[in-house]
A and B are shown apart, each in its own frame.
Chain A
Amino acid sequence: MAFNIYDFTPLTKSIHDALAASLNPTATLAIEWLIVGVAYLLFVALFGLFLVYAERKVCAAFQQRLGPMRVGPWGLLQTIADFIKLLMKELITPKRADVFLYNLAPFIVIIASFMAISVVPFAPGLAAFDFDIGVFFVTAVSSISVIGVLLAGWSSNNKYSLIGAMRSGAQIVSYELSVGLALITMIIFAGTMQISGIIEGQRDLWFIFRGHVPAVIAFIVFIIAGTAETNRGPFDLAEAESELTAGFHTEYSGIKFAFFFLAEYINMFIVAAMATVVFLGGWMPLHFGQFEAFNGVMDFIPGLVWFFLKVFAVIFLMMWFKWTFPRLRVDHILNLEWKYLLPINLMNIILMTLVVLFGLHF
């Protein structure tokens, strides 16, 4: 098997050939799905663990303390210990909760996150699906999680959960618009919705530099709206600890709470991944057009490493927001979206269209 760290296409092709040679097509397909599914499950689990640990360390750094240090060297095994504890907890269902919906809600939320991850390109040739409507698919599928949130709040039979779920529902539905429009701005620039096409178009220079003013505006809007979509940072009133104990997931314990918790971090990863793909070049190293020597040096680092570095940078930015700013009130959040972000987005689309039409980009 040809294992090339810079391009995974030969690896996947050789696995596929090996399977197709010995089994009939349906079995090949089934086994490939199985392999991809297990790989993604492992990735989600491990990456979720890592993100939780990273959050605690980053938070501790902002608060001038050390964070987890005792469980394992430098506290690395802390999240594993936390998850084992969560798995062993008693699953308490509130007395008159709607049992079916109560159990269904965490699954909906985690399924939405899984579906969105499937199109994320980690390296050349290492994306599960590569539709021609890739970006659109991600926006569509991540909207499913709002159903899970509303169901969780309603079925818990708890006023606090209901208030939290209502707030969260209103917020997510509003900010989807901004996320979608910011992505559309870049799709206009790229000319295609297919993710591999978008990344290819950034071979000379990343879109955030190529589409100067409108791309930077779109990036800022996307980061703000993406943070709001994931109920994080200054927009976390759905789970505002100091006001409503834990908002929509107050009544969940054990593994179901772990699903909500994990889904929040995976959503953060998806927002960061989309930002990376559309603005920062995905797995494409930083090239500056004609400087061959510079490009050569940049190419030395594999695409997989570039991707994760960019994703971590965006995630660090989102964590920074959370630990610095106070929380916004619900009407401020909705104000921000409908009165500020949406008009800015619409203007930006017009601006980007003009830029593309008249070729005013690099």
Chain B
Amino acid sequence: MAEYKEILLTSDEIKTDDYLVNMGPQHPSTHGVLRLLVQLEGEKVLNVQPHIGYIHSGIEKMTESLSYIQIPHLTDRMDYLAAHMNNEAVSLCVEKGLQVEVPERAKYIRTIFDELQRIASHQLWWCAFGMDMGALTTFFYGLRDREDILDIFEETCGARLTLNYSVPGGVMFDIHPNFQRDVKAFIKKFRKKLPEYERLLTGNVIFQERTKGVGILTKEEAIAYGVTGPSARASGFSCDIRKKQPYSAYPYIKFNEIMGTDGDTFTRYHLRILEMFESMNIIEQLIDNIPEGDYAVKMKGVTKLPEGEYYQRVETGRGEFGVYIISDGKKNPYRMKFRSPGFSNLFAINNIAKGWKIADLVAIMGTFDLVIPDIDR
């Protein structure tokens, strides 16, 4: 009879293997081509390593051979949900260098478009986030109302997504005659709809269980990792560029900077919904007071920025978008760098997601609102 030994296993002797799972590049919830190499132990996440570059188009190198008037049209493609804000950032930086003053009408128009774009971006975020959580109906509700904003964009700019509207000197065309009427009708309608959306998800017990206390980002971590935008404001890091270094028509209006304290997924989610309300307040302050006048300043055909370095920061739906131009006096920039918010936000996820489960990783990534072309440029 073979003898048997009684084997007593203590918990540090049982070695279960960690395994690596690829989320992406094609994956329904990474919202773009992003590959996450996730090291898992059962359901628990040990390490998340992002691999990017699937949609790298070398935009920064391209700008070195384009003129300053051509570059804003290229920036639409980077963060397509904040296309107008990207255009505006480049335009503002060039105007700063040339010391050109944009007419008041153009400033007001740019800010109204900014805020409409912010609402549209947050709507798309909301519907995709709900879908990731499993409430598939939210996808349709969010997109349905976003169509109104996209129709407004199409009337004035001719395009729904890649707006191509702000240029150095002002905006490309004047607003459509129906613009003010349509925007006011949209705000009236959306003010009633947004509480409906909140009721669907915010108060739901299942949703709260999955998001409250999950993926906490502390204020020190947010500053250290360079996280900006609603994700950082939820942790208490006051980083709204519209308040700190106001541009365009922001100095003329009053609005609140929405802040949170907990830094968990639920706060990040709720903050974006409140931001949508705040954007509507901003638009209401501006829409009736658009001053008459030119919509753009006549710029020379060939613009040359004086030698030096210029930096312009703009607040997009994701965080701080920065344009840094190093100019040597010629008609093309010597070096142009786009500081994208998604790039810093993405690499902070590893720190937050350690120890949580795969489902939480999806929730955390949803609240960071990543747009991959913004990261890859």
Direct A–B contact present (CB less than 8 angstroms):
yes
Q: Shortest Cβ distance from A76 into chain B, in angstroms?
A: 23
User: Is B88 in contact with chain A by the CB < 8 A criterion?
Assistant: no
A164 to B321, CA, bound (A): 39
With beta carbons under 8 angstroms apart, the residue of B28, B201, B207, B360 that contacts A242 is: B28
Q: Are A325 and B134 in contact (CB under 8 A)?
A: yes
A243 to B133, CA, bound (A): 9
Q: Are B201 and A326 in contact (CB under 8 A)?
A: yes
User: Is A328 in contact with chain B by the CB < 8 A criterion?
Assistant: yes
Q: Shortest Cβ distance from B194 into chain A, in angstroms?
A: 16
Residues of A within 8 A of B19 (CB): 159
Q: Are A331 and B131 in contact (CB under 8 A)?
A: no
User: Is A263 in contact with chain B by the CB < 8 A criterion?
Assistant: no
Q: Are A245 and B28 in contact (CB under 8 A)?
A: yes
With beta carbons under 8 angstroms apart, the residue of A244, A323, A328 that contacts B136 is: A323
A324 to B28, CA, bound (A): 19
A159 to B29, CA, bound (A): 18
Q: Are A242 and B144 in contact (CB under 8 A)?
A: no
With beta carbons under 8 angstroms apart, the residue of A159, A241, A330 that contacts B357 is: A330
Interface of A is mostly: helix
Q: Shortest Cβ distance from B205 into chain A, in angstroms?
A: 9
Residues of A within 8 A of B135 (CB): 324-327
User: Is A338 in contact with chain B by the CB < 8 A criterion?
Assistant: no
A241 to B28, CA, bound (A): 7
User: Is B299 in contact with chain A by the CB < 8 A criterion?
Assistant: no
Q: Are B27 and A64 in contact (CB under 8 A)?
A: no
User: Is A214 in contact with chain B by the CB < 8 A criterion?
Assistant: no
Residues of B within 8 A of A242 (CB): 28-29, 131-134, 362
Q: Are A243 and B29 in contact (CB under 8 A)?
A: yes
Q: Are A329 and B210 in contact (CB under 8 A)?
A: yes
With beta carbons under 8 angstroms apart, the residue of B130, B210, B358 that contacts A328 is: B210
Residues of B within 8 A of A63 (CB): 136-137, 139-141
User: Is B66 in contact with chain A by the CB < 8 A criterion?
Assistant: no
A236 to B206, CA, bound (A): 13
User: Is A189 in contact with chain B by the CB < 8 A criterion?
Assistant: no
Q: Are B137 and A243 in contact (CB under 8 A)?
A: no
A234 to B362, CA, bound (A): 16
Q: Shortest Cβ distance from B167 into chain A, in angstroms?
A: 39
Residues of B within 8 A of A328 (CB): 206, 209-210
A355 to B106, CA, bound (A): 76
Q: Are B21 and A159 in contact (CB under 8 A)?
A: yes
Count of residues in A whose CB is under 8 Å from the partner chain: 27
Q: Are B43 and A327 in contact (CB under 8 A)?
A: no
CB-CB contacts of A220-251 with B at 8 A, as 1s and 0s? 00000000000000101100111111000000
Chain B residues 174-203 with CB under 8 Å of chain A are 200-201
Given A65-B140, A243-B358, A332-B210 in contact, is the A326-B21 Cβ separation under 8 Å?
Answer: no
Residues of A within 8 A of B200 (CB): 324
Residues of B within 8 A of A236 (CB): 134
Q: Shortest Cβ distance from A131 into chain B, in angstroms?
A: 38
Residues of B within 8 A of A65 (CB): 140
Chain B residues 116-156 with CB under 8 Å of chain A are 130-137, 139-141, 144
Residues of B within 8 A of A288 (CB): none
Chain B residues 38-65 with CB under 8 Å of chain A are 43
With beta carbons under 8 angstroms apart, the residue of B43, B134, B137 that contacts A330 is: B43
Q: Shortest Cβ distance from A58 into chain B, in angstroms?
A: 11
Residues of A within 8 A of B134 (CB): 234, 236-237, 240, 242, 325-327
A76 to B21, CA, bound (A): 41
A87 to B262, CA, bound (A): 52
Interface residue ranges, A against B (CB under 8 Å): 59, 62-65, 159-160, 163, 234, 236-237, 240-245, 323-332
Interface residue ranges, B against A (CB under 8 Å): 19, 21, 27-29, 43, 130-137, 139-141, 144, 200-201, 204, 206-207, 209-210, 357-360, 362
Q: List 27 A-B contacts (CB under 8 A).
A: A59-B136, A62-B137, A63-B139, A64-B140, A64-B144, A65-B140, A159-B21, A234-B134, A237-B359, A240-B134, A241-B28, A242-B28, A242-B29, A242-B131, A242-B362, A243-B358, A243-B359, A245-B27, A324-B137, A325-B206, A326-B130, A326-B206, A326-B207, A327-B133, A329-B209, A330-B43, A330-B359
Q: Which 7 A/B pairs are nearest by Cβ-Cβ distance?
A: A327-B134, A326-B133, A63-B140, A242-B29, A326-B135, A326-B134, A329-B359
